[in-house]
């Protein structure tokens, strides 16, 4: 096989250049060592004629590592240009993965040898009580071959350390990529809605309140039949950005990204009377108002810059019985709450 100067790694590293000759998993120990640093390899899998992958684990940390050649130069160009490996999933609030770094790779002699792409994908939650859960991906490629790394139960620090430790990358110069700063900027952990609804910074009401930067909305509402919680209600991240007049790209994926926190905290208000069910049994239950306090927090101060109370008193025909309390509570006045948030100027 002829060695060309445009290949991904130096000619002194034939392992990467021999990718097209791989024909069975048994041949891959040189590409997939039993151990990489502190990581131990699981079984190597083959997909197609020349693509191989394996999972590497270190305690609870798991990294998926795939390696293979492009079938054609056109395929390489298409995948690199379209950033295929970064755009393979939706974020928790819609949209594609976020690219954190896209740069030229150089070897230790300063020669350009390929590209590196690092991206972050928000893990979509079945529930909506946490934000900031991410998985990270790294692609190192040239016009012939590519390495794909994906963190599973791993941080960006774990993934970048693995990339640097990978024997195939021994001649790559990672020092100029400033990966430490990138890791520091993406070191946040997940945050629960319960943590945000409990935030209580000083109250410094602004004469002209506003919404600054990216936003997270933590909402607390009453329990119903499906809640299975206590009378404090359900606490969740409200991601219905259109409802509050917010652009999709203004909703934060994590606590670190957010500059504004909006709390919608609803609790049981005064008794309104009795609610009579609409079925044949005509059961009677105590009915209560919903008291909702809206607080707008400028996290960069930090302070509560706006607060307003709303009371929901309208009982509809579809109110949900709180099975724990055997009571009915009026729905929060979301029309008024939405109008209040929509009216806040955006900075």
Give the helix, strand, coil percentages of the chain, each rounded to 5. 20, 40, 45
Tell me how far apart the alpha carbons of residues 145 and 143 are, in angstroms, rounded to a whole number.
6
Q: At 214, phi and psi to the nearest 5?
A: -80, 155
Tell me how far apart the alpha carbons of residues 200 and 304 are, in angstroms, rounded to a whole number.
8
Whether residue 21 has pLDDT greater than 70? no
Structure confidence by residue, pLDDT tens digits, 265-319: 998 899 999 888 777 778 888 888 999 999 999 999 999 999 999 999 988 766 6
| More confident site: 253 or 44 | 44
Where exactly are the structural domains of the chain?
14-185, 191-342
Whether residue 16 has pLDDT greater than 60? no
CATH for 14-185?
A: 3.40.1000
CB 182 within 8 A of CB 100: yes
Percent of the chain with pLDDT over 90: 40
Give the gyration radius of the chain's Cα atoms: 27
Task: Work out the mean pLDDT of the chain and round it to a whole number.
Answer: 80
Structure confidence by residue, pLDDT tens digits, 188-223: 677 888 899 999 999 999 999 999 999 999 999 865
Closest alpha carbon to 290 in 257, 267, 309, 274: 267
Comparing 11-15, 171-175, 270-274, 298-302, the range with the smallest average pLDDT is 11-15
CB 231 within 8 A of CB 317: no
pLDDT of residue 26: 47
| More confident site: 237 or 48 | 237
Whether residue 19 has pLDDT greater than 70? no
pLDDT of residue 125: 53
Structure confidence by residue, pLDDT tens digits, 61-91: 999 999 888 777 777 777 766 666 776 544 3
Burial class (CB in 10 A: 0-12, 13-18, 19+), 132: buried
Structure confidence by residue, pLDDT tens digits, 187-196: 767 788 889 9
pLDDT of residue 251: 87
Closest alpha carbon to 98 in 125, 132, 51, 64: 132
pLDDT of residue 198: 92
- Mean local confidence (pLDDT), 95-112: 84
| More confident site: 122 or 289 | 289
**Helix, strand or coil for residue 100?**
strand
- Mean local confidence (pLDDT), 213-239: 72
Percent of the chain with pLDDT over 70: 79
pTM: 0.63
pLDDT of residue 321: 63
């Amino acid at each position: 096989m002829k060695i060309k100067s445009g290949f991904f790694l130096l000619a002194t590293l034939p392992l990467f250049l021999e990718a097209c000759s791989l024909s069975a998993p048994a041949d891959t120990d040189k590409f997939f060592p039993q151990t990489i640093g502190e990581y131990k390899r699981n079984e190597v899998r083959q997909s197609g004629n020349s693509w191989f992958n394996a999972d590497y684990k270190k305690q609870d940390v798991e990294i998926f590592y795939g390696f293979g050649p492009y079938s054609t130069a056109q395929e390489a160009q298409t995948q690199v240009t379209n950033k295929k490996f970064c755009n393979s999933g939706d974020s928790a609030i819609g949209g594609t993965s976020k690219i954190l770094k896209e740069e030229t790779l150089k070897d230790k002699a300063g020669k350009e040898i390929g590209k590196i792409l690092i991206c972050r994908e928000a893990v979509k939650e079945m529930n909506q009580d946490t934000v900031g859960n991410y998985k990270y991906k790294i692609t190192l490629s040239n016009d012939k071959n590519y390495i794909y790394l994906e963190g599973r139960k791993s941080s960006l620090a774990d993934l970048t350390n693995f990339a640097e430790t990978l024997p195939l990358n021994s001649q790559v110069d990672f020092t100029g990529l400033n990966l430490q700063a990138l890791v520091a900027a993406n070191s946040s952990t997940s945050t629960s809605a319960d943590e945000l609804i409990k935030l209580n910074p000083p109250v410094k009401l602004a004469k002209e309140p506003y919404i600054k930067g990216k936003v997270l909305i933590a909402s607390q509402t009453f329990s119903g039949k499906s809640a299975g919680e206590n009378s404090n209600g359900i606490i969740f991240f409200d991601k219905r950005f259109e409802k509050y007049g917010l652009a999709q790209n203004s909703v934060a994926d994590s606590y670190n990204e957010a500059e504004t926190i909006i709390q919608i905290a609803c609790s049981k208000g005064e008794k309104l009377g009795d609610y009579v069910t609409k079925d044949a049994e005509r059961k009677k239950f105590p009915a209560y108002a919903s008291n909702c306090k809206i607080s707008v927090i400028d996290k960069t101060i930090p302070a509560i810059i706006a607060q307003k109370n709303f009371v929901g008193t309208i009982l509809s025909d579809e109110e949900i019985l709180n099975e724990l309390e055997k009571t009915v509570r009026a729905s929060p006045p979301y029309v008024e709450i939405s109008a209040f948030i929509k009216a806040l100027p955006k900075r």
